[in-house]
Chain A
């Protein structure tokens, strides 16, 4: 980093350490609370550990078992990837639409803003119970309402084909967090940019694609990465709502790991499962990160590039 004005020498010696000082809380935190357990779990993945008794070293045994002997591993992996492929774009688009809606200057928008955010506030325990009820095929309110309308409702949580849709509907309910993140970013866009665009004759859609969208790429990037991670680790909802059923159609990878750890008490095996997923997510994130150079624009980088004559980082 080049400074416009160079401070004198004694201070410069400190300058080298300034950024590290800023991030030092995180470095201390990671050393204190993360590194130990992480290494521990990596080591455990080479052990047979039934929780209640002492671990036995088995080398790569857990990994070979996972790849060669456990068909559920591949099935769960596939279900999870499918879910993520479906859910991530859906939630991104929905939350962006919602964020755009609540940043319109229409009457009562504050009220709607609160409504959209409300579901994200409801605790997971109650959410799963209430959805289980609503979707009960025989005695649930949803099919009852459909019945009153003369429609025979689908077997929501009984039919494997509709179960995954049910999960998507239920998990999209909590999209309020992502919406709020988009919203905060949209609100930070200087209004004069819109004004000048509208003077240039741009309609609402053009304003969105030419002003809003480019300026919120950093948060799109953020939401893309975090929702990919959470989709691949989705556990709470399937654990409480379907427990993997019907016919294992929602037996997500997160549930697979959780059951191996706490139902089958194979902590070593579960660690191996978890580490595999960890690496997959890491690679996926790296991929998104690599691609981000092409579509994410940061204000401070744009400026830098301009100054340094378009030097790529």
Chain B
């Protein structure tokens, strides 16, 4: 009996070893072949989703071929990009090079690039649109090179305009014009809405409407009192709310592109992201600048994407080499299909100022010079943003539709 007992424990041990070797081989079979002698490996993280990804992989391969001493590997994380980057930074294992837009939040983990830029000479920096540098810096330091950008514009459904016999909007139009058009286009019997805007707008984006009316979330010292609840701010939100109350505009549950794709929304505002998907959805649409406010102007927020270097990167020179490649004319041109180039020389050589759709975004960019989003002015933007998001919901949600002045006064406290 003793012997059988011993034998069975032997079996247990063998089994245990088997599990371990099984998972060992499972891991080993798939473990990477990195650490090749002498090669600097660069991890490069992107938030772009498929289609564009194939193109980006092609660019990366091209770079690797041209640089035998550097090996760049592309990592794609889709919509959970921020979670992954935050986890990596927390564990001090962030990618060497990464796409970036929210600089104030990540600034402490990013390498300032001013000294690198200096070495490249002034012309290098001047080739970018100036406004974009503001959006790729924090605390006066450049933390990323601009890769792409978008301003916000009005998309309109040409078919619906034709059917209602309404002339297409022109670039110098006003909010009054938009409202008049929306009223004419609106047709409840056919579920057609004249205008759509997000019922839960991203506060970062929405500030542009306040700018247009000559105000902002915060003043230069970062205080909300007197800015967020100024009469001008109240006017903007009242205007949007009235469009809902009058029934010719709807709020959307997402950005609005889903609703626009249904072909039943005449106008909505968004960045350049919708161009591709609206085309695929077969919508016959046009693009026009944002309307301006009566005593103000038309200003857009810039949603910029940049490329940054991790402070903890072990191969900073190689990383910079790759960043330069990724922002080069060649790369800008390669991404032309889905991204608006940020280099003046490329815009010129590709004649984008003559492109019926794309020129609107560049025009909007010129009109939006000199504004700094609140996210760059206040310390705790993410919390403030959450508060503002609730404010907008209270004003726009059909079950509350609260008085803008009261809500804004309350929020500015």
Contacts and interface: CB of A to CB of B under 8 A. Distances in A.
Q: Do chains A and B make direct contact within the complex (CB under 8 angstroms)? A: yes
B264 interface: yes
Interface stretch (B51-59, B341-349, B359-367, B390-398): B390-398
A264 B253 contact: no
Interface in B11-38: 12, 16
B82 interface: yes
Contacts of B191: 138-139
Interface in B197-254: 199-200, 250-251, 253-254
B108 A52 contact: yes
B108 A138 contact: no
B250 A158 contact: no
B83 A262 contact: yes
Given A50-B108, A53-B108, A11 B2 contact: yes
Interface string A1-40: 0000001001100100000010001000000000000000
A261 B390 CA distance: 20
A155 B251 CA distance: 12
A259 interface: yes
A246 B107 contact: no
Interface string A150-165: 0000010111110000
B79 to A, nearest CB: 9
A7 to B, nearest CB: 8
A300 to B, nearest CB: 23
A139 B390 contact: no
Contact of B250 (A133, A138, A259): A138
Q: Which of B105, B108, B253 has the most CB of A within 10 A?
A: B253
B393 A263 contact: no
Contact of A158 (B193, B199, B394): B199
A273 B199 CA distance: 30
A263 B397 contact: no
B400 A247 contact: yes
Given A53-B108, A248-B390, A157 B89 contact: no
B258 A139 contact: yes
Contacts of B83: 262
A138 B192 CA distance: 10
A267 interface: yes
B108 A246 contact: no
A245 B383 contact: no
Contact of A159 (B12, B109, B399): B399
Contacts of B258: 133, 136, 139
Contacts of A161: 399
A243 B393 CA distance: 13
Interface string A52-94: 1100000000000000000000000000000000000000000
Interface string A213-253: 00000000000000000000000000000010111100000
Nearest to B82: A262
Given A157-B253, A265-B382, A138 B399 contact: no
A119 interface: no
Contacts of B200: 243, 245-246
A221 B394 CA distance: 42
B397 A247 contact: yes
A51 interface: yes
Given A51-B89, A247-B390, A262-B82, A139 B397 contact: no
Q: Which of A10, A11, A262 has the most CB of B within 10 A?
A: A262
Interface in B88-119: 89-90, 105-109
B386 interface: yes
A165 B200 CA distance: 20
Interface residues of B, number: 38
B contact face: mostly helix, strand, loop, or mixed? helix
A170 B90 CA distance: 34
A245 B82 contact: no
B262 interface: yes
B86 interface: yes
Contact of B105 (A11, A138, A248, A265): A265
A247 B382 contact: no
Contacts of A25: 16
B259 interface: yes
A243 B386 CA distance: 11
A137 interface: yes
A11 B5 contact: yes
Nearest to B12: A21
Given A132-B253, A158-B397, A264 B383 contact: yes
B397 A246 contact: yes
Interface string A122-161: 0000000000110011110000000000000001011111
Given A52-B106, A158-B253, A264 B89 contact: no
A160 B90 CA distance: 35
A260 to B, nearest CB: 10
B399 A158 contact: yes
Q: Which of A138, A243, A248 has the most CB of B within 10 A?
A: A138
Closest 10 CB pairs of A and B: A52-B109, A52-B108, A53-B108, A264-B382, A51-B90, A139-B262, A159-B399, A262-B83, A262-B86, A247-B393
Interface of A: 7, 10-11, 14, 21, 25, 49-53, 132-133, 136-139, 155, 157-161, 243, 245-248, 259, 261-265, 267
Interface of B: 1-2, 5, 12, 16, 82-83, 86, 89-90, 105-109, 191, 193, 199-200, 250-251, 253-254, 258-259, 262, 264, 380, 382-383, 386, 390, 393-394, 397-400
30 contacts: A7-B1, A11-B1, A51-B86, A52-B89, A52-B105, A52-B106, A132-B254, A133-B258, A136-B253, A136-B258, A137-B253, A138-B259, A155-B398, A155-B399, A158-B251, A158-B397, A159-B399, A246-B393, A246-B397, A247-B390, A247-B393, A262-B82, A262-B86, A263-B386, A264-B382, A264-B386, A265-B86, A265-B105, A265-B382, A267-B90
Given A160-B399, A247-B397, A248-B390, 11 more contacts: A7-B1, A21-B12, A49-B90, A51-B90, A132-B253, A136-B258, A139-B262, A158-B199, A158-B253, A262-B82, A263-B386
